[in-house]
Amino acid sequence: MKPTVLNAPSNLRAISRSLRTLLFGVMASVPLLVNAGTTTAEVNTTGLAVTDSVVKVGQLHSATGTMAISETGSIQAERLAIDQINEMGGILGRKIEIIQEDGASDWPTFAEKARKLLVNDKVAAVFGCWTSASRKAVLPVFEKENGMLYYPTFYEGLEQSKNVIYTGQEATQQIIAGLDWLAKTKGAKKFYLVGSDYIWPRTSNKIARKHIENVLKGEVVGEDYFPLGHTQFGSLINKIKLKKPDAVYSIIVGGSNVAWWKQLKAAGVTSDKQTILTISVTEDEILGIGGENMVGFYAAMKYFQSLDNDNNKKFVAAFKAKYGDKAVIGDVTQAAYLGPWLWKAAVEKAGSFDIDKIAAASPGIELKTAPEGYVKVHENHHLWSKLRIGEALADGQYKVIYESDLIEPNPVPKGYQ
């Protein structure tokens, strides 16, 4: 069975050549550690797919099925980062080759493909997964076969593994600062929590409730969950109207998202009448919802496409140059983009592709070139990052209206259990 080896096809290479000047800014800020002299025997003592000129990595996302909607951005961002790294001469003098696998939105398939990448292809790192379910499915495989996964999605936390670097926020990083902002600027005391019914929204709302009740001394006037894929939110909207919360805290995901926001608008719930803060709508989702249906509502993320800094401008330009002017970049897409860069930094710091050495070298790594500004890997393999509040605009972008300090990741928060 011959895997597709995506070796930066020549036309892509031509495009990226023309981008070289543009990319140079990104490259220049990263120390060039092209070290073609190291022998493979030195940098790879564990039989990974590393030769003198090539290192193979895996990419494991859903290209088909219901999750392809969300995971496409991550696939693109990881590709972009790897192309850029290859343009710069690769890692330890070796070009990166991608072996792409389709998880097909099916968790057992993720586990199967993860095993294939680690056992058969012996890839040096895997960039992939999106949903918690797919991560949970592959985690035992990564731990058993000792692989390294760069996981991009903001998620519920409650997990920490030597074999995973979490480049998205764990729950507390996304929630607490956002609630503080609501309480401070909107004077919110009464909160209504809604979510899709699975682990991430439930865990996030659990943390939110503790914070609202214990720290903000506010009140949760309602908490509702809907099956994934639910499309009727009329009753919920009426309940919200009845309870009149100061703020609605929304973690509705997937296909339900579109229904939820459209029905809010149709029920006359607009941003001048009701404050809503969501942690589950990135620019990617707005494509499906329609910017005009979200105007004035808030999202709490670590990254927005409109972020005004040089790193981000270069990143957005490169992304659009590669994937077209209409491409949008959401929080997870940016987090996925960090994965290859963080891996590169870790490999170079460790001077080796060996998983154990990378795992040990990762904490403390900084990425000053990150589009979100600056990130640093924590001992617990999550990233220090900031939280930002964006206000949705009609064109589908967010206007950043608040930015927190760097927040320490705390995946297993005490006092919030």
Partner 1 sequence: MNIITPSTASAAGAPAWRAWIPLAALALFILAVLPLCLDLFRLNLVGKYLTYAFVAIGLVLCWGYGGILSLGQGVFFGLGGYAMAMFLKLEASDPESTKIQSTPGIPDFMDWNQITALPALWEPFHSLAFTLLAIVLVPGLMAFVIGVAMFKRRVGGVYFAIMTQAFAAMLSILIIGQQGYTGGVNGITDLKTLNGWDIRTDHAKYVLYFLNAGLLLASVALGQVLLKTKFGKLLLALRDKEERVRFSGYDVAAFKVFIFTLAAVLSAVGGAMFTLQVGFMSPSFVGIVPSIEMVIFTAVGGRLSLVGAVYGSLAVNFGKSYFSESFPQLWLFLMGGLFIAVVMLFPNGLAGLADSVRGAWQKWQARKAGQMTARGAPRTPAPPEDEPAAPTALRVKGGAA
Partner 2 sequence: MDGMSFSEFGSVLIMQGFNGLSYFSVLLLMALGLAIIFGQMGVINMAHGEFLTIGAYTTYLLSVLSSTYAPWFESYYFIAAIIVGFGVAFVIGYLVEWLMIRHLYKRPLDSLLATWGLSLIMQQTFRSTFGPKEVSATLPAWLMGSYSPKEGLDIPLNGLFVMALTLALTSAVAAIMFYSRWGLRVRATTQNRAMAGAVGIDTAKIDRLTFALGCGIAGVAGAAFTTIGSTGPTSGSLYIVDTFLVVVFGGAQSLLGTIASAFSIAQTNSTLEFFMTGSIAKVITLATIIGILLLRPEGLFRLRVRK
Residues at the contact surface with partner 2, assessed by CB under 8 A: 63-66, 68-69, 72-73, 197, 223-227, 229-232, 234-239, 241-242, 244, 255, 257-259, 262-263, 265-269, 284-285, 287-290, 292-293
Q: Which tokens belong to 385?
A: 């990052």
What string of DSSP letters covers 106-169? -HHHHHHHHHIIIIIS--S-EEE--SHHHHHHHHHHHHHHT--EEE-S--------TTEEE-S-
HSE, CB side, 13 Å, CA atoms: give it for residue 190. Answer: 10
Q: For residues 266 and 163, give the distance between their C-alpha atoms in angstroms, rounded to a whole number.
A: 46
Look at residue 189 and give the partner it binds from partner 1, partner 2, none, a contact being a CB closer than 5 to 8 Å depending on partner kind.
none
Told to check if 182 binds partner 1 by CB under 8 A, we report: no
Look at residue 232 and give the partner it binds from partner 1, partner 2, none, a contact being a CB closer than 5 to 8 Å depending on partner kind.
partner 2
Q: For residues 184 and 406, give the distance between their C-alpha atoms in angstroms, rounded to a whole number.
A: 19
Q: Phi and psi (nearest 5°) for 149?
A: -110, 130
E strand intervals along 233-356? 247-251, 275-278, 298-301
Told to check if 276 binds partner 1 by CB under 8 A, we report: no
Told to check if 209 binds partner 1 by CB under 8 A, we report: no
Told to check if 267 binds partner 1 by CB under 8 A, we report: no
Look at residue 3 and give the partner it binds from partner 1, partner 2, none, a contact being a CB closer than 5 to 8 Å depending on partner kind.
partner 1
Strands 366-367 and 375-377: antiparallel
Look at residue 104 and give the partner it binds from partner 2, partner 1, none, a contact being a CB closer than 5 to 8 Å depending on partner kind.
partner 1
Nearest residue (CB) to partner 2, 219 versus 310:
219
Q: Least separation, in Å, of the C-beta of 241 and partner 2?
A: 6
Look at residue 369 and give the partner it binds from partner 1, partner 2, none, a contact being a CB closer than 5 to 8 Å depending on partner kind.
none
Binders of partner 1: how many residues, by CB under 8 A?
A: 40
Q: For residues 227 and 174, give the distance between their C-alpha atoms in angstroms, rounded to a whole number.
A: 23
Fill in the DSSP letter of residue 88.
Answer: T
In the window 97-116, what residues touch partner 1 (CB under 8 A)? Answer: 100-102, 104, 106-109, 111-112, 115-116
Told to check if 189 binds partner 1 by CB under 8 A, we report: no
Q: Least separation, in Å, of the C-beta of 282 and partner 2?
A: 11
Look at residue 376 and give the partner it binds from partner 2, partner 1, none, a contact being a CB closer than 5 to 8 Å depending on partner kind.
none
Look at residue 257 and give the partner it binds from partner 2, partner 1, none, a contact being a CB closer than 5 to 8 Å depending on partner kind.
partner 2
Is the four-CA dihedral 371, 377, 382, 387 of positive or negative sign? negative
Nearest residue (CB) to partner 1, 180 versus 223:
223
Is the four-CA dihedral 121, 122, 128, 133 of positive or negative sign? positive
